[in-house]
Amino acid sequence: MQRRFISIWFRHLLADWQLIWRPELKEVPFVFAAPDHGRMIVTAVSQLAAEHEVTSGMSAADAKAICPGLEVLDDKVGRAGKLLKGLGEYCIRYAPIVAIDEFSMDGLMLEVSGCAHLWGGEREYLKEIISRLKSKGYTVRLAIADTPGAAWAVSRFGKVTPLIAPDEHVEALQLLPPEALRLEESTLSKLRKLGFYQIRSFIGMPRSVLRRRFGEAFLLRLAQALGTEEEVLQALRQPVPFRERLASLEPIKTKTGIEIAITRLLEVLCKRLQTEGLGLRSGLLTAYRIDGKIVQIAIGTSGASHSVAHLFKLFQLKIDQIKPALGIELFELEAVKVDALEVPQEILWNSKPGLNNKSILQLIDRVSGKLGAAAVHRYIPEAHYWPERSAGRARSLTELRVMNWNMDKPRPTELLPRPEVIQVMALIPDHPPKFFIYKGEQHQVVKADGPERIEREWWLDAGEHRDYYRVEDASGRRYWLYRSGHYGANQSFQWFVHGFFA
């Protein structure tokens, strides 16, 4: 596909911006100046000042001498970048990939491959952008060409036409001065000294000669303009393949309105996802309020889904988090993460047992959407004898257990998260206790099983082993007790209750 680029040059970016905010400066020539080595240096010029031959780079005092009545305004570092970012975000409406012109910081670069026909051809496309930016108060020069370098050159220095037809950019570059190649000042002065006033005078020279004289950077710029070297644009916003926008005629303030907007967006998005066999895993709804603020809510699903009803329910749980304030003028729904969707075979009854069931997945999505994903647990057996580690968290609903649940040793129905200390009396060492006091109540042990020794997993943590006993007291309550460590006078050992049997 033929790649096409538009370069937008804001001739007086800062001055235009200032005029928008302070129209009273329209009749006055003014410049922006910033301190540099103790002097005020002009950084940006208004159109009126430019007519008086004031250029950026001269000192403010000189400029005032040339042009009496010149107004000098303070410049702030990074203001141009901020402005360009805002303008670039505005220009995303024209092309998905918009980049700031990093070389001169006074323009934008748009990759418009395959966009022009949507606006009725390249000429109309350019006209539309110019008039739209002009109506906002910016004077711009545009050029469209096959390479970013050529577009940049023609937008700044072209005199014939801004519309460089496909494959004609080399011709268009011939008559332009070497400044059009985005070169360093030192290289430019060298070129001027050698009498190269037009690109055509050195374009045909052997590369080795040019490299020796002007260095690698010069060749790179030349190649980028000619298109033999790829130039990568740093997009302001990486285009997301699945994004839908819905602008509202009137600002929306009510919950019903937001719900309708979400449904409409989901309908379009889900249809697109469905045709591509994809499902949404995480989505982001951005609401642009008329006061310039942005509100976002995000949802996630445990399995890819393109069901409007289900996704809507997930968003519905979070609508309360959207504060519409004065109203929302634009909704944007983005599928941040999509996954291939396995299309289940149509069945007559939803009789598929197990957890990998559509309705259960949707239930889990709703629960984790409202209460957080940490609320939902599922356990699978793990190869540990240590009771606290014998059940591990499953990562997903569909993760299968790799081993069976261990059944050969008794395990309590309820396990205390932290074993509690008890007082115990045992008749003989290593015999089950005869009597114990738990929470102030005395329990006479009638029946007992054990001991079951569980060694501590020394590669995971240090400590004593445990000897577990299952005991039943006189009233039929069954406990899981253990003694930590060996029985003996010279060793520290302690008794704990760790669980309750049914």
Partner 1 sequence: MEAKLEILNKLRQDLLLWQGFKPAEGEAAQCVGLGEIEAAFPGGVFPRKAIHEFICAAPDQTAATDGFIAGLLSVLMADGTGCVWISTARRLFPPSLAAFNVEADRIIFVDVRNDREVLWVMEEALRCEGLAAVVAEVDSLSLVESRRLQLAAEQQGIPAMIIRKDPKRLVAGVSTARWQISPLPSSAEQGMPGVGFPRWRVDLLKVRSGNPGSWVLEWEADRFLQVPAQKVFVQRVQEKVG
Interface residue list for partner 1 (CB under 8 A): 350, 352-355, 357, 359-360, 362-364, 366-367, 370-371, 375-381, 387, 390-391, 394, 397, 401, 404-407, 410-417, 444, 446-449, 470-472, 474-478, 499-502
Question: What are φ and ψ of residue 363, in 5° steps?
Answer: -60, -45
In this structure, are residues 180 and 187 in contact, taking their beta carbons and an 8 Å threshold?
no
Beta strands 30-36 and 71-74, pairing class: parallel
Instruction: Give the shortest CB-371-to-partner 1 separation in angstroms.
Output: 6
State which residue, 60 or 364, has the beta carbon closest to partner 1. 364
Instruction: Give the shortest CB-496-to-partner 1 separation in angstroms.
Output: 15
Q: Which string of DSSP letters, residue by residue, matches 100-116?
A: E-TTTSSEEEEE-TTTG
Separation CA 214–CA 84 (nearest Å):
31
In this structure, are residues 129 and 142 in contact, taking their beta carbons and an 8 Å threshold?
yes
State which residue, 339 or 472, has the beta carbon closest to partner 1. 472
DSSP 345: P
Instruction: Give the shortest CB-466-to-partner 1 separation in angstroms.
Output: 15
In this structure, are residues 484 and 466 in contact, taking their beta carbons and an 8 Å threshold?
yes
Instruction: Give the shortest CB-471-to-partner 1 separation in angstroms.
Output: 7
Instruction: Give the shortest CB-255-to-partner 1 separation in angstroms.
Output: 19
Instruction: Give the shortest CB-323-to-partner 1 separation in angstroms.
Output: 23
Q: Which of 218, 203, 278, 211 is nearest to 242 (CA)?
A: 278
Q: Which string of DSSP letters, residue by residue, matches 130-188?
A: HHHHHHHT--EEEEEESSHHHHHHHHHH--S-SB--TT-HHHHHHTS-GGGG---HHHH
State which residue, 82 or 447, has the beta carbon closest to partner 1. 447
Instruction: Give the shortest CB-495-to-partner 1 separation in angstroms.
Output: 18
Instruction: Give the shortest CB-493-to-partner 1 separation in angstroms.
Output: 23
State which residue, 249 or 502, has the beta carbon closest to partner 1. 502
Question: What are φ and ψ of residue 274, in 5° steps?
Answer: -65, -40
Instruction: Give the shortest CB-465-to-partner 1 separation in angstroms.
Output: 19
State which residue, 221 or 478, has the beta carbon closest to partner 1. 478
Per-position b or e across 383-413, b if 16+ CB within 10 A of its CB? eeeebeebbeeeeebeeeeeeeeeeeeebbe
Instruction: Give the shortest CB-406-to-partner 1 separation in angstroms.
Output: 7
State which residue, 192 or 447, has the beta carbon closest to partner 1. 447
- Any residues with CB less than 8 A from the CB of 138 and at least 6 apart, and which? 10, 13, 16, 17, 87
State which residue, 309 or 446, has the beta carbon closest to partner 1. 446
Instruction: Give the shortest CB-380-to-partner 1 separation in angstroms.
Output: 5
Separation CA 114–CA 94 (nearest Å):
11
Largest CA distance in the chain: 110
Q: Is 14 helix (H, G, I), strand (E, B) or coil?
A: helix
Euclidean distance between the first and final Cα of the chain, in Å? Answer: 72
Q: Which string of DSSP letters, residue by residue, matches 464-487?
A: --EEEEEEEETTS-EEEEEEES--
Instruction: Give the shortest CB-351-to-partner 1 separation in angstroms.
Output: 8
> What's the one-letter identity of residue 302?
S
Please, which residues bridge with residue 379 across strands? 393
State which residue, 179 or 449, has the beta carbon closest to partner 1. 449
Separation CA 386–CA 392 (nearest Å):
12
Beta strands 278-289 and 328-340, pairing class: antiparallel
State which residue, 162 or 412, has the beta carbon closest to partner 1. 412
State which residue, 263 or 357, has the beta carbon closest to partner 1. 357
State which residue, 204 or 417, has the beta carbon closest to partner 1. 417
State which residue, 185 or 441, has the beta carbon closest to partner 1. 441
Residue labelled with tokens 């982001």: 284
Instruction: Give the shortest CB-460-to-partner 1 separation in angstroms.
Output: 18
State which residue, 240 or 421, has the beta carbon closest to partner 1. 421
